[in-house]
Structure 1
C-alpha cells in the first residue's frame, strides 16, 4: 500500500470530497485521500467543518487496532510523485479534472459532490502529493442512516432533544447493533469525528469507513458524539475491558509506536493529549451509567470492539 507501483489513477466514483482511486500492479485497489492541511493546523467552526484530514484516516486505523476493533479498512500514509505515479497513469476522466495553477503546476480538483475547480490539490516542491492510501474493500455493503446523525443545519435532530431517544432506537435495532454503534461512537469521540451520518454493514458488523473528519481541534471535546453511550447507558463487556487496559497513557503511546514503524508522525502532541483527556471522559460516562443503573444493566456480554 505504501510503495507498490501504480498502474492506473482515476477519480473515485463517488463521495463528497476529492479522492482518487488507484489500481496497483498487483490488481489491488486503493482510495487515496490527499493531504489538505498540515498536522498542526487547527480546524475552527462546527464539528464537521473543513476538508477531510488524511492523517485522521491513518490515526483511526491504528486507534481501532489498539482497541481491538477489527472491522476497519487498513490505511497508511503514502507519498505519490505526481508526474511519474499519477499523470503517467491517469485515466481520461482524471485528466479532465486537472488544471494549471498560477505557478504553472498541474493540479487536481477531482470529481465529487463538493469539488470545485478553484480548490485543487497540487504537488509539493518535490513533485509529490502526500495522502492517506486506504484499502478499497471491493464488497457490497448495506448502507444505513445513523440514528444519531446530524442535520448539518440549525435544525435539531430528535436525539438532540430527547434524552430517552435510545428507547425508540431499541425498538428498531437489536442490542448487538446498538452496542456496535456505541463502540463506533467511542472511537469517533476520541478523534472528534462528528460526521458519522451513515454506516456500512457487512456480515452484521459495522465497517469503520470514512474517518477523515477527526483530529480537527485538540481543544474541543464535543460530548454529544458520545450520545449513543450516555443515552443508552450500556456497553459491551469486552469493549470496557479493552478500554480499561489502555488507561494511563498506553493508548496513545501504542499508536505512536505503531506509527514510528513507518517513520510517520501522525499528529501533534496536543491531539495525543486530547485523546487521553477524552478517554477519561469515556470512563466517567460509563461510571455515571453504572451509578445510575447498576453494572448488570450497563455491561453486556455481547461482542463489541
Structure 2
C-alpha cells in the first residue's frame, strides 16, 4: 500500500514538472518569436545608409538623404470639371471662331465701345478711388477704429467697385488695343542677342565672335531663347553636360545657394545642387517662400517648356559632378572657405545666401564627392545686355500673416491690370502663358517676370527660376490660375499647342523627353507625371468657364505669336 502511494506521488510530481517545463518552453518560444518579428520589421523599415544604396535607386527609399523626405504615396486622384468630349468640342469651337475672325477686318465692330465711354476717365476715377482707400486706411491706423466701424466702411467701399457696363467697355477696349498692337508689330524683324552685342564684341573681344557661345547667341531672339532644332542648341547641351569647369563662384543674389560656372569657349552656367530626393514633397505647413529649391525641378521645367513650344526657359541639363574637382578646386576664395568634411566623410559646402546656407543645410556629396546638379546656360547680363524686371501683378504677399490684394478682390484684373497701359501689348498674353506654365509645374514662387529689354517692346518673357516647382503632386494650387480666371484672356496659339500635347499625352511626351534627353535618371516620379495631365485638364476647364462667360471672341486672342 505504501509503495502504491509513493508511485502515485511520483507520477503526479512528474506530470507537474513536465507541464511546467512545457509551459516555460512555450512561453520562451512565444517571446523569442515576437522579438524576432519586431526586429525584422525594424530592419525592413529602417533606411539604408547612403553608401549602401545605388544613387539612382534613391527615389525608391524613404529618408535616405533628407530626414524630412516623405514616402511616395498613392497617386492623387482628382478629376477636372471637364470631360474629354467637352475638350474636343471646345477645340472645334475655338478653331471655327478663329477662322471666322480671320476674315474680319473692322476691329471696332468686333469689339464695340460706347462713344460716351472714355478709358482715361475710368482710369482717373479708379486712381481717385484707390487714393481714397489709402487715405481711409491711414485714418483707420491713426484713430484705431473699431472692427465694426472698419467693416461698415469696407461695405460702403464695395459698392463703389467697377460697374458691369464699365467692365464690358474696358474689356472691349483692351481687346482693341491688343488687335492694334498686333497690326503694328506683325511685320517686326526678329532680332538676336548676337546682333545686339556684335559691334561691342568686335571692338573689345573679337575672339568671341568665333566661339560656339556666339553661334548659340545667334539663335537667341526676341521671341525665344533657343531653337530646339539647331546645331548650336545640341552643342550647347553637350557643353553643359561635359565641359570642364574653369572657375566656380557664387551668384551674389538669391535666397538659396547657386554657383556660377565658367566653362570653356566663353560659356557661363548656373549650377543648382541636389537638395532633396525625387519623391520629396513640400510639407503641407510650409509656405512657398520657405520651400527648398530642387535641381530636378529646373530640369523637368525646361523639358516641359520645350514640349509646349514656348522655348522661353534657358536650356538646362542634369549633370553628375565631382564636388571636389569641379567646385572646390575651382572655387573663388569666399566660396572655398565654406567647404568642410562632414562626420560621414562627405565633402560639403554651405555658401552664402538668405536661406539654407548654414552647416545644418549644407550641400554634400552623396556619398563622398559625387553630387547631382542642374546646369543652366547663363544668358548675357548687364551691362552687355539690358534686362527688365517686372513685378508680377499677381505676386504673393510673402507673408504668413496677410494676403495680397488680388486674393480678396475678384475685380483685380479690371481695376489694376486692364487699367495699366504697361499691359496693353503682348506682355498681357505672355503673363497668361506664364500662368498656365506655372500651374502645370506647380510653381507658386513667381514674384517677378523677366524679359530682355534690349530687344524693345516686342520681346517674350524669359521663364527663369523654376526650382520651387514640382513641390507637391497631391495638390493643385488653383490660385496660380488666378490671372487667367480674373482676366479670361488667352493666346490662341498657346491653346492650340496645349490641345496638341493633350491628344498625344503630355505626361508621356514629358517622360519620353526626360528619358531620351537626360543622363540623370527618373527626374520626375510617376505621381508628378500624373499630376501634369490632371492639371492640363483643369486648365482646359478654366478656359471653358471663361468662354461660357465672355464668348470665344472675347477670350481667345490671335496676336500673331506662334
Name the structure 1 match of 2:254.
15
2:430 maps to 1:191: no
Question: How far off its partner does 1:248 sit?
Answer: 4.2
Residue 540 of structure 2 corresponds to which residue in structure 1? 283
User: Residue 247 of structure 1: CA displacement?
Assistant: 1.0
From 401, 407, 411, the equivalent of 1:160 is: 407
> Take 2:432 and 2:365, find their aligned partners in 1: how far apart are those partners?
39
Determine if contact 2:347/2:368 at 8 Å carries over to the other structure: no
Residues 24-73 of structure 1, C-alpha deviation per residue, up to 9 Å, x if partnerless?
12221111000111111111134614210111111111111111112221
Cα deviation digits, residues 122-178 of structure 1 (max 9, x gap): 111252110110111123311111000111222111111111111121111224211
1:115-194 equivalences in 2 (<5 Å): 115-125=357-367, 127-139=369-381, 140-153=386-399, 154-167=401-414, 168-172=416-420, 173-194=423-444
Question: Larger relative CO (CA 8 A, sep 6+): 1 or 2?
Answer: 1
| Residue 107 (structure 1) aligned to one of 348, 372, 388 | 348
The 1-side partners of 2:360 and 2:437 are apart by: 34
Superposed CA deviations along residues 74-129 of structure 1, whole A, max 9, x for unmatched, are: 11111110122112211112112223322343311112222223310011125211
Q: Deviations over 1:275-296 (max 9, x none)?
A: 0000000000000000000000
Distance 1:16 1:138 in 2: 21
TM-score, structure 1 length as denominator? Answer: 0.96
Gaps of 5+ in 1: none
How do residues 208-287 of structure 1 correspond to structure 2 at under 5 angstroms? 208-248=463-503, 250-261=505-516, 262-263=518-519, 264-287=521-544
How far apart, in 1, do the equivalents of 2:543 and 2:315 lie? Answer: 29
Q: Which runs of 5+ in 2 are unaligned?
A: 1-239
Size of the alignment, in residue pairs? 305
Matches within 5 A, 1:63-102: 63-102=304-343
Distance 1:175 1:208, change over 3 A: same
Q: 2: CA distance between counterparts of 1:162 and 1:12?
A: 37
Question: Is the contact made by 2:342 and 2:348 (CA closer than 8 Å) also made in structure 1?
Answer: yes
2:57 is equivalent to residue 57 of structure 1 = no
Partner SS for 1:276: helix
Runs of 4+ in 1 over 3 A off after TM superposition: none
Q: Distance in 1 between matches of 2:490 and 2:532?
A: 19
Residue 389 of structure 2 aligns to a residue whose secondary structure is strand
Is this contact kept in 1: 2:258–2:270, CA < 8 A? yes
Q: Secondary structure at the match of 2:361?
A: coil
Which structure has the bigger radius of gyration?
2
Structure number with higher helix proportion: 2
Map of 1:27 onto structure 2: 266
Q: CA 1:162–1:57 in structure 2 vs 1: closer, same or farther (change >3 Å)?
A: same
Root-mean-square deviation (CA, aligned residues, Å) is: 1.5
Distance in 1 between the 2:260 and 2:540 partners?
Answer: 39
With over 3 angstroms needed to count, the CA separation of the structure-2 counterparts of 1:126 and 1:117, relative to structure 1, is closer
Asked if the contact 1:146/1:196 (under 8 Å) is kept, the reply is yes
Residue by residue, what CA displacement relative to the aligned partner does 1:168-220 show, whole Å, maximum 9, x if unpaired?
Answer: 21111224211111100111101110000111112332110000111111001
